[in-house]
Amino acid sequence: MMKAGQYSQPLPLPYTAQLNESDEGGLNLGQVLGAIRRRVLIIGGVTVVVASAAVFKALNDTPVYQAQFEILTEPVTVENEVISSVPQTLTSRREGEATSGAVDETKIRVLLSPQVLSPIVEQLRIRYPDITYDLLVSNLRIGTSGPNILAVTYQSSDPKLVRDVLDLVAKAYLNYSLEERRADIRQGLEFVEEQLPNLKGRVESQQERLQRIRQNNNLVDPGITGQQLSTQIGTLEQQWLDNQLQLNEAQSLYANLQTELAQQPGEKAAALALSDSPRYQKILDSLQEIDSQIAKESARFLDESPTLGNLRLQRQNLLPLLNQEGERAQRELASRIQGLEVRNQSLNQNIENLKLQVKQLSGINREYTDIQRELQIATDNLNQFLAKREALRIDAAQRQIPWRLLAPLGEPQATAASVNKNLALGTMLGLLLGLGTALVVDKLSNVLYTSKEVKEVTKLPLLGVIPFEKEIEEFAQYAPMVNGVPLVPQMGHNNGRGHSDPFQGYRADSFFEVFRSLYTNIRLLGSDTPIRSLAISSAAHGDGKSTVAVHLAQAAAAMGQRVLLVDTNLRRPCLHNLVGLRNIQGLTDVISTDLDFQDIIERSPLEDNLYVLTAGQIPPDPIRLLASKKMQDLMEKFQAAFDLVIYDTPPLLGVADAYLLATHTNGVVLVAGVGKLKRPVLEQALEELRVAGTPVLGAVANRSKESTPSSQGYPNRYYTQNSSAPNLAKKLKLVSPDQDPF
């Protein structure tokens, strides 16, 4: 493991940025052509102004007559007011559509079509034999002069022809609007009439099925019958529980009675098990009274006295009665138990019968419900089509023309026509003046437009040139989105998770090869000491450094390296958007808390070997976190865990974040956005790098329009074998460095 302190010293290969004097000299041919491409709007604007002035001054005396009429395509009439209140009519539906009467490009093309204008040409040929459809269309202009207002203009050197053409066109367009509405209504009625028999048949079929299931099962509504059966089952089950409770009590009492009658004398048993028997208690009371008398008389008389003898005889006569009463109570209790058991069996049988009926009814109810649902759907469809038919019949009853002419056609007015010769001269003069103005403005803008200029200013190795091509612009316009963020492409192979790469054909082109070459060049810089970590930065915002960092990390991962991409731009984090991840927890949380960075790092959906540590929440003082000892320790851990660590840093000017981080890496890769970055800004950033002693690996020229596969020296066969790539670009977008706002 290499310590963080080892990266505080620049490697032998990285260069230290030095400020240099800009070269003085004139523009070469390449610079002139580049200035022309960049300032095409200025050239065009000056050319148009000069040519317009020439046209204005070069008008000849030949008059050109022009006239115009306007048609309201959605007039408010009494018929419309009445019909719009009827649901399902065309007028009521169009009333809620904001663009129903708007004149669009499609409607204009239809009005200019031969189907509409050919009959007009035939009528005009009677008086104007030279008139043709192409001649008519070339002088006929259709546009809009307000919401739902169609403006039709025709011009010609013959004012009478202008008048005749516009008269016929106005009538043709009004008739077209009426025929168009009638055709729509007619087609709608035919379709509805074709569908109605089938819909009626479906409704009748479902009604017959519903009737059969009711008759076969003697049911009105299976749902109601099921509820009634469930209620009966609940009532019988409650009765069964009550009866079972009584049976258990009677059986327990019977068992106790048998036990006590068998084990104790009758008078003692009666006191325990027969306390509720009045007759038994009466005999027991008599025995107790005789026993009391015997006890009293024993104190007065001898055992052989007649009085005691009579008392004992009475007691002896009552004992059989007491036994008989116990046996009778036992027989009554047994009879009661038998009755409860019979009732219990009856309740069980009734409950089972009801449950069987419920089970049979469940299947019937399911079929009944399905039929009802299908019947409801069929009925709703039938009602909708019946309502639609009536609405269309109401629409068909309209006789008023849908469109209306706003004002009578006026007399053609004469206009002046331009001379083509003077127009050509004015255009040539304007083009020359525009070229001169463009070259002067381009020279004074002081913007770096080529990778050569970047290399001359920085005096650094030019590690890569990122092209700016039309295909990239098309991809940027149609970006696939994931969770509201653009998805960066993979490097032309299967991502290892069972999904094929739909951009594989396009990814073999020069754009992605540039990033593979960029990473190869960076690796070659560290031939003695391998480059294990680097910082990606730029002089100012908008140079595309973040997207370059993403693509570089993706290229390194695709080439077998285990790469960690860290978003250290704690002021304006954006990496999570570029890789399609969420910035919930990130570097800020790892530094400020005890979280383990391995729990925060996420595997990128772009490559299996690419891992991303997002920035996390924006802290109040980013410098304090980036300069902390914990950040240095984290960078050491990152170095130990991954083959390559790439830090996306804030821009160099204005903040010190990038300088703090670059000190603990192998060096900085400086991204320069050509076509946008000004020379003084880049020179200032280089001066600050020189003062800080920050090691710089090299520069990357981004958005270079002169960088093409041929200029890079790539064989054309690598880029012509996938001819479908530009077509894919029209539908899908890969994030390119040209679109990175940071």
Q: What is the pLDDT of residues 579-610, one digit of tens each?
A: 888 998 999 999 998 888 999 999 988 788 99
Residue 401 to residue 90: CA distance in whole angstroms = 14
State the pLDDT confidence band at 397, using cuts at 50, 70 and 90.
Answer: low
pLDDT for 285 beyond 70: yes
Closest CA to 234 of 343, 358, 366, 360: 358
pLDDT of residue 447: 82
pLDDT above 50 for 497: no
Pairing of strands 695-704, 462-467: parallel
Q: What is the pLDDT of residue 672?
A: 92
Cα atoms in the Cβ-side hemisphere of radius 13 Å centred on 205: 10
Q: Which two tokens stand for residue 527?
A: 């031939």
Provide the pLDDT for residue 534. Answer: 95
- CATH architecture type of domain 61-178+403-417: 2-Layer Sandwich (3.30)
**Any idea which of 23-27, 295-299, 407-411 has the lowest mean pLDDT?**
23-27
| pLDDT beyond 60 at 420 | yes
Give 237's pLDDT tier (boundaries 50, 70, 90): confident
CA atoms within 13 A on the CB side of 60: 10
Write out the two tokens for 27: 């523009």
Which value, in Å, is the radius of gyration of the alpha carbons in the chain?
A: 51
Mapped onto helix, strand or coil, the DSSP state of residue 358 is helix
Q: In this model, does residue 393 exceed pLDDT 80?
A: no
Is residue 569 over pLDDT 80? yes
Q: Give per-residue burial for 727-738: e unless 16+ CB within 10 Å, then b.
A: ebbeebbbbbbb
Residues of the chain with CATH 3.40.50.300: 449-739
Which residue is it, tokens 């940071």? 742
* Dist. CA 387–CA 199, nearest whole Å: 13
The predicted pLDDT at position 419 comes to 55
The answer to whether 475 and 486 have CB atoms below 8 angstroms apart is no
Structure confidence at residue 326 (pLDDT): 72
Select the highest-mean-pLDDT range: 309-323, 341-355, 546-560: 546-560
d(CA 721, CA 714): 13
Position 57 confidence tier, pLDDT thresholds 50, 70, 90: low
| pLDDT, position 505 | 40
CA distances in angstroms from 710 to 37, 343, 717, listed in the order given: 19, 103, 11
Architecture category of domain 222-377 in CATH: Orthogonal Bundle (1.10)
Angle subtended by helix axes 266-273 and 278-300, to nearest 10: 140
Domain with CATH 1.10.287 in the chain: 222-377
What pLDDT is recorded for position 423?
72
Q: Which CATH superfamily is domain 449-739 in?
A: P-loop containing nucleotide triphosphate hydrolases (3.40.50.300)
Q: What is the mean pLDDT of residues 712-719?
A: 42
